[in-house]
Structure formats: C-alpha cells, structure tokens
C-alpha cells in the first residue's frame, strides 16, 4: 500500500489546490504542525457523493455515455437452430 504523503500546514496552505486535486484522484494526505501529525485529508467515499456528480465524472472520463433514445436500438438477434447453444456449450466444456 502506498504510504500517505505528509505535508506541513504552511506548505498545505500554499499548495491547497494541488493537494486537493491529488485527494480527488484517491490519494490521502496527512497534515503536520511542527512535525506532529494532526489531521488526515482523504477522498469522500463514492457512496457519500451524489449520484449525479458520479455520473458526470464517469461521462467526462469517457466510461459511460448518454442513454440511446427509446426505439433507436437495433432489432433483437434471431435465435439459431434448436439446440445450437447447448451443443456449443458442451463442446466448450469438453475442450
């Protein structure tokens, strides 16, 4: 497991935007005052974030896209000959 990064309070104040960006990417940061660990900055668990926010993040990362409009799906595939799926499954299990 990656060791948490420690950062002094003065440096944290100077680099807050960069530190928060790292936390948003999943990193944890321990804040120190005069070398003593006093606080931990951690990402908010996904379960606590609003669904809309998580969907926007996934969409902007290209992992999901908007749903297709109703009626725009291709027609369902036709079933093959009777027993074909069973035969193919049996062949696959035998190999």
Give the pTM: 0.51
Q: In this predicted structure, what is the pLDDT of residue 3?
A: 67
Q: Which CATH number fits domain 5-60: 3.40.50.720, 3.40.1620.10, 2.40.10.120, 3.30.2230.10?
A: 3.40.1620.10
Q: 35: which DSSP letter?
A: T
Q: What is the pLDDT of residue 2?
A: 60
- Helices assigned H by DSSP within the chain: 9-14, 16-24, 51-60, 84-94
Can you list the pairs that 39-45 forms with residues at least 24 positions away whose Cβ atoms lie under 8 Å? Answer: 40/4
Residue 45's SS3 state is coil
The tens-digit pLDDT sequence of the chain (95 residues) is 466 899 999 999 999 999 999 998 889 999 999 999 999 999 988 788 899 988 998 999 999 988 878 888 888 888 888 889 899 999 999 98
Let me know: does 5 contact 29? Beta carbons within 8 Å. yes
């Amino acid at each position: 497991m990656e060791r948490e990064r420690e950062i002094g309070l003065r440096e944290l104040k100077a680099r807050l935007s960069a530190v928060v960006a790292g936390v948003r990417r999943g990193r944890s940061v321990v804040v120190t005052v005069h070398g003593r660990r006093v606080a931990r900055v951690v990402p908010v668990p996904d379960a606590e974030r609003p669904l809309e926010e998580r969907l926007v993040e996934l969409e902007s990362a290209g992992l999901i896209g908007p749903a297709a409009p109703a009626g725009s799906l291709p027609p369902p595939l036709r079933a093959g000959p009777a027993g074909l799926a069973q035969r193919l499954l049996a062949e696959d299990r035998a190999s």
